[in-house]
Structure 1
């Protein structure tokens, strides 16, 4: 079994889900007392969020690249950035290490295409929804990506940073996000990418929504196990 390096803390709420999901999937596949070989570098999200807000992505890239190199030094055979937004600096992270970076958008696009869907709505932070680093990566896989209107984008972003990253899961926000999903469906979205790992704390892919919801944390975790057991 290969060792999985988790670059987490963005936020720790979703990083905890990565750890749980990866270990549960390894146990499911191998049985018995098996668990995953994992090394974790968890950053201070307040520092990262400040760099995001100021637009200093170069500094954010250097911060994550340093941590990724430490993961490799600790024995990681592959690395995951446990956040959608921070894949904006994925190239800087990959350049800093000699082991593969398992890109979340690639794994997600594979899952969407496997479901026979080519037009998807994207929910995430404002950075993920409004900048091109994530949408363009999905487009290279043949996906057409729709994002909510400005007011809905602002509400999704607010919910992520003001509630979910702080461990708050509110019924009102759940209802609001179901309405946002419905508006994307009405515009032609055949499925919705939950393009922020915290959104899976609010929305249940097995029960919510009028179209399939693609849970990026679950997808990324399964892809990590695939790679570790290959």
Structure 2
């Protein structure tokens, strides 16, 4: 192990949306710290894992204010427990990111900024956004990407409904279906034909279904980009 390292910053994770992808965050953050620092190092983490079912009901009902209040309370508790930055471990719930950020004095590391930065580094312009219907259709996420000069694309109406169902009815419940994999790959091929030059895994569960190397276009997995941004923040004091 490297000696005389300054303490890393402690990260507060708001997870459970879904529990499947929160597990991925925990693994990647710890693997990332070990890769950067070596030896027995692991991440300094605090986790508040919500019950996703009530949150999903609020999403479906459009009750974003109440959902945001629950996540804001979680962020506040994480900060009081010692978190020096907060992550919402989901793309869709960044619709309430401003409400969550306002509840704390520490930074909220935004998944949209992390994803956009990774796309800019790849030198692409027109990413196909694969995500929940909320993330694809509402402006909060695409507008964030556009701020970086990107021109995000989304699948057609029917494909958006199918993808939304795959995420909630299968991936969030730990179900990996090869028929769904084929369907999502077809969405990507249609996007490529319409001018997409890259793909965003814009739901933190999509990486459970598809491997980036199988896509045939440059891919940014939003969960991986988010973790990288979080590691950069957590370990900045040790640079």
Same fold (TM over 0.5): yes
1:194 aligns with 2:238: no
Residue in structure 1 matching 2:161, options 154, 165, 170: 154
Aligned to 2:146: 139
**Which sections of structure 1, spanning at least 5 residues, go unmatched?**
none
Aligned to 1:45: 52
Partner Cα separation in structure 1 for residue 26 and residue 50 of structure 2: 15
- Quote how far apart the aligned CAs of 1:210 are: 1.8
TM superposition score normalised by structure 2 = 0.95
1:30 aligns with 2:23: no
Root-mean-square deviation over aligned CA pairs = 0.6
Residue in structure 1 matching 2:228, options 222, 225, 228: 222
- Quote how far apart the aligned CAs of 1:71 are: 0.6
Partner Cα separation in structure 2 for residue 66 and residue 160 of structure 1: 26
Partner Cα separation in structure 2 for residue 132 and residue 42 of structure 1: 26
For residues 178-189 of structure 1, the aligned pairs below 5 Å read 178-189=185-196
Partner Cα separation in structure 2 for residue 108 and residue 199 of structure 1: 14
- Classify the secondary structure of the residue corresponding to 1:197: coil
Aligned to 2:4: none
- Runs of 4+ more than 4 Å apart: none
Aligned to 1:106: 113
- Structure possessing the higher radius of gyration over alpha carbons: 2
- Classify the secondary structure of the residue corresponding to 2:14: strand
- Quote how far apart the aligned CAs of 1:222 are: 1.1
1:5 aligns with 2:12: yes
- Quote how far apart the aligned CAs of 1:45 are: 0.2
1:90 aligns with 2:67: no
- Classify the secondary structure of the residue corresponding to 1:146: coil
Aligned to 1:15: 22
TM superposition score normalised by structure 1 = 0.99
- Quote how far apart the aligned CAs of 1:62 are: 0.3
